Amino acid sequence: MAVIHQEPEVREDLTRYAGSWVAIRDGMVIASALDPVDLRNDPLVHENDLLMPVPSNTSGIFIL
Amino acid sequence: MPELVVAYRSVGFGVARPYLVLHVSGVDGRSGLIPGLIDSGADRTVLPAGYAALLGYGPEDLEAVQGAQVGGSVTLRNAKKPSRPYVPEIPHVVFDVRPSFVDGCETALWGRGDIMRQFDVTIRERRQQFVLAWDE
């Protein structure tokens, strides 16, 4: 039986974090840093948080 | 064949796209969630360079090779050892991925050589969904 993916979206606008890494929990940013390892070592960040870079330009068309 | 239907989602940039979140265990045993775009144009999985350290890859674990992207040539640092991802909703289907890390890359791309060998992927652009199907 098909199941709709239930992973939460990122609900917060990440534009102001452009160029940084962010940690996401329950769809919201809980920490940010310029370096991903610094971010993971932040005591606010848990192992199962989603870690991702925020593109420097998020408004254009993606051609990858 | 079991299937998982995944809705296109925004990850904070306003536009819904075919993002898939994978739980990835790195070569040092640490793990985390990584969102990436399903990319049938990528021969293999490509990750922003910062994920190399997060997944425990050191310089000795990576091999620099030249690749090609839409804008021209690019240096890839290919993982010599695999990481182990799985889709959180399908935790019993764990597989190998040898990512290519790219400086300046800002979005993870789940490519054909690993993710799409594990799952049949169907894009339903009109429905803003994609489907993963796998063998039990």
pLDDT in tens, B41-50: 999 999 999 9
Global pTM exceeds 0.90: yes
Per-domain boundaries in chain A: 15-53
Q: Does the beta carbon of A36 lie under 8 angstroms from any beta carbon of chain B?
A: yes
pLDDT of residue A33: 98
pLDDT of residue A11: 86
Q: Are A22 and A29 in contact (CB under 8 A)?
A: yes
CB contact under 8 Å between B13 and A58, yes or no, is yes
Residue A3 banded pLDDT, cuts 50, 70, 90 = low
ipTM entry? 0.88
Residue A52 banded pLDDT, cuts 50, 70, 90 = very high
Residues in chain B within 8 Å Cβ distance of A62:
17, 37, 107
pLDDT in tens, B8-48: 988 887 788 999 999 999 999 999 999 999 999 999 999 99
pLDDT of residue A48: 86
Dist. CA A24–CA A5, nearest whole Å: 17
Query: Per CB distance under 8 Å, which residues of B are interface residues toward A?
Result: 2-7, 9-14, 17, 21, 23, 30-35, 37, 39, 41-42, 48, 50-51, 53-54, 69-70, 88-89, 106-109, 131
Query: Is residue A1's pLDDT more than 80?
Result: no
- What lies within 8 Å, CB to CB, of B11 at 6+ separation is A9, A10, A14, A52, B17, B19, B35
Which structure tokens are listed for B89? 């909703």
Q: Does the beta carbon of A54 lie under 8 angstroms from any beta carbon of chain B?
A: yes
